[in-house]
Copies of this chain bind each other. A is one copy, B any other.
Amino acid sequence: MTVVDQIVRRGAEAAPGFAESPASARAALLEAIADALDGGADALVAVAGEETALPEGRLRGELARTTAQLRKFAGVIVEGSYLEVVIDHADGSDVPPRPDLRRMLRPIGPVAVFAASNFPFAFSVAGGDTASALAVGCPVIVKTHPGHPRTSETTAALVDQAVAGQGLPAGVFQTAAGFEEGLELVDADALEAVAFTGSLRGGRALLDRCTARPRPIPFYGELGSLNPVVVTAAADAARGGELAAGLAGSFQLGDGQFCTKPGLVLVPAGSVLEAQLPQHVVAAHPRMLTETIAAGFETGRDRAAAVPGVAIVAGGASATAPTVLAADAATLLTHRELLDEVFGPVTVLVRYADEAELDRVLEALEGSLTMTLHAEPSEDVRGLATWMTSRAGRVLFSGWPTGVAVSWAQHHGGPWPATNTQFTSVGATAVRRFLRPVVYQDAPESVLPDALHDANPLGIPRRVDGRLEV
């Protein structure tokens, strides 16, 4: 039996008991993990700073986001709507006649979480995927990211303490490291799902692998995203300088290493934005997360810059300097490789001559996590806004896509290649990935979970005989 086999077996053994633990116990676990991370903040930030080159302020902010996220999921499960309880009492007059049916969501079992490189806390060992799976009672096995191994170990040790402190078995939370071990994990018979944040190429391989198993399991990938921005001629005329500053801040934030970095900006030809953007582009070399990412950025940026008709508007002088490229719409439409995501501080301005040309570029876009519109209040953009919802999971107005709030309404997903499912990896509804419905038919109350008792002892929102009861 390999190490990974043993890990998955321990997760599977812990699953039934963890599934039956009350929401209050799981909420206490999430709070305890948050407290442990807050208590270990200095050590965590120090080691993450050494491994990722991210500045201390950013890391402290990300850790605060991570612990706030854990506490928010605690609130979500205590509130109880996430169980989606529906009770239909028997009704012989229905067509067909119906028995007593009581539906709720149940945890799916042990899940694998593949950590991301670019958020060593918020999308790593104790990040959103781990928090949402633990919240609903699924044991987690984190495949740690090789970009920050000691940060992963330090975080895992704090989570382990919290798990033990709550009297839960160690199988509730475990880690595994290594590329081959990750594949072995995906193949493990007892695994029930895989959550992944990373590259399109890696995600595609894992999706295929999850599907090819003798027993296919769901793969929840958060993959590539171009995050297009549209600036209307009126918006550029009214506040092109302000937009230039905003775009510069967004595409260089975190040295462009965000999945929501605006990678393509559609601007009117001869825009104020293009003229003023260079003054906001930082000349200093960014410090990339890993050498692989630095090399990938340089290669992708240089490939785009080498396309005939593409100009370097700002930066690009040194290997990893932030860079702004620009091209006419016609160039983009004949060189679709300009639509490939390049991870790092680069964005491509695409100049459109008129609305017809703008429409042709829009039609060429694939799915993204976000799309952004900058227009003036006097413009009727209803049609464009609605269309944007067909290409992105989050549509922003007069803002910038970097920065993803954690709340009840948030959706962090979108049409392929942004994600491969209709689920989100950020926000309250992220828990839905790790749940499946079951319905009890004509069950005696003695066998029903509390959530399905007529008296509603948990006091949770439910639909009873078609009516929502809050």
CB distance from A15 to the nearest CB of B (A): 9
A405 at the interface (CB under 8 A from B): yes
Q: Which of B389, B408, B422, B465 contacts A88 (CB 8 A)?
A: B408
Is A406 located at the chain interface by the 8 A CB criterion? yes
Given A397-B441, A468-B81 in contact, is the A407-B88 Cβ separation under 8 Å? yes
Cβ–Cβ < 8 Å partners of A87 in chain B: 409
Give A43 to B301 CA distance when docked, in angstroms.
65
**A130, chain B: closest CB distance, angstroms:** 18
A397-B443, A399-B99 as given contacts; A422 in contact with B435, CB under 8 Å? yes
Query: Is A211 in contact with B207, judged by CB distance below 8 angstroms?
Result: yes
Cβ A441 vs Cβ B103 within 8 A = no
Question: Which residues in B have their C-beta under 8 angstroms from that of A102?
Answer: 409
Binds B, one of A284-292, A342-350, A377-385: A377-385
B108 and A409 form a contact (CB under 8 A) = no
CA distance A381 to B211 in the complex (A): 35
Query: Are A421 and B461 in contact (CB-based, < 8 A)?
Result: no
Q: What's the Cα separation between A99 and B207 when bound, in Å?
A: 33
Residues of A58-116 at the interface with B, using a CB-CB cut-off of 8 Å, are 61, 64-65, 68, 79, 81, 84, 86-88, 91, 94-99, 101-103, 106, 108-109
* Contact (Cβ within 8 A) B422 A381: no
Question: In the assembled complex, how far is the CB of residue A42 from the closest CB belonging to chain B, in whole angstroms?
Answer: 19
Chain B residues with CB under 8 A of A396: 441-442
A143 part of interface (Cβ distance < 8 Å): no
* Residue among A16, A65, A381, A447 with max Cβ neighbours from chain B (10 Å): A447
Report A399-455 residues with CB < 8 Å from chain B CB. Answer: 399, 403-411, 413, 415-417, 420-422, 424, 428-429, 435-444, 446-447, 449
Across the interface, A442 reaches (CB within 8 A) one of B397, B446, B463, namely: B397
Tell me if A470 counts as interface (CB < 8 A to partner B): yes
Residues of B close to A407: CB separation below 8 A: 88, 91, 94, 98, 101
CB pair B393–A411 under 8 Å, yes or no, is no
Chain B residues within 8 Å of A437, by CB: 393, 411, 413, 422, 424, 429
Which of chain B's residues have a CB closer than 8 A to the CB of A447?
Answer: 381-382, 385-386, 397
When distances are taken between beta carbons in the complex, the residues of chain B under 8 Å from A366 are 215
| A436 contacts across to B, CB distance below 8 A | 393, 413, 415, 422
Which of B68, B79, B386 touches A20 (beta carbons < 8 Å)?
B386
Q: Tell whether A327 is near chain B: CB-to-CB under 8 Å.
A: no
Number of A residues with CB within 8 Å of any CB on chain B: 90
Verify if A466 is at the interface (C-beta below 8 Å from B). Answer: yes
**Counting CB contacts under 8 A, is A390 at the interface?**
yes
Task: Name A397's contact: one of B389, B411, B424, B444 (CB within 8 Å).
Answer: B444
Copies in the complex: 2
Interface contact B218-A207, CB-CB below 8 Å: no
Contacts of A277 in B (CB 8 A): none
A207: chain B residues at CB < 8 Å are 211, 216
Is the pair B211, A395 in contact by a Cβ cutoff of 8 Å? no
In the complex, the answer to whether A440 meets B216 with C-beta atoms within 8 Å is no
By the criterion CB–CB under 8 Å, are A96 and B468 in contact?
no
A50 close to chain B: CB less than 8 A: no
Residue contact B405 to A101, C-beta cutoff 8 Å: yes
Is the beta-carbon distance between B439 and A409 smaller than 8 angstroms? Answer: yes
CA distance A393 to B98 in the complex (A): 17
Evaluate contact between A410 and B65: CB separation under 8 angstroms.
no
Chain B residues with CB under 8 Å of A99's CB are 399, 405
Contact B103 A409 (CB under 8 A): yes
A208 CB–B CB distance under 8 Å? yes
Q: Say yes or no for A279: interface residue by CB 8 A criterion.
A: no
Is A24's beta carbon under 8 Å from chain B?
no
Q: A207-B211, A395-B440 are in contact. List 4 more A-B contacts (CB 8 A).
A: A68-B95, A87-B409, A94-B405, A96-B406
17 A-B residue pairings within 8 Å (CB atoms): A16-B390, A68-B94, A88-B410, A96-B405, A98-B410, A108-B422, A207-B216, A208-B212, A215-B366, A217-B416, A377-B444, A389-B438, A394-B441, A396-B442, A409-B439, A410-B439, A411-B437
Give 3 nearest A-B pairs by CB, closest first.
A98-B405, A68-B95, A86-B409
Chain A interface residues (CB < 8 Å from chain B): 16, 20, 61, 64-65, 68, 79, 81, 84, 86-88, 91, 94-99, 101-103, 106, 108-109, 207-208, 211-212, 215-218, 366, 377, 380-382, 385-387, 389-390, 392-399, 403-411, 413, 415-417, 420-422, 424, 428-429, 435-444, 446-447, 449, 461, 463, 465-466, 468-470
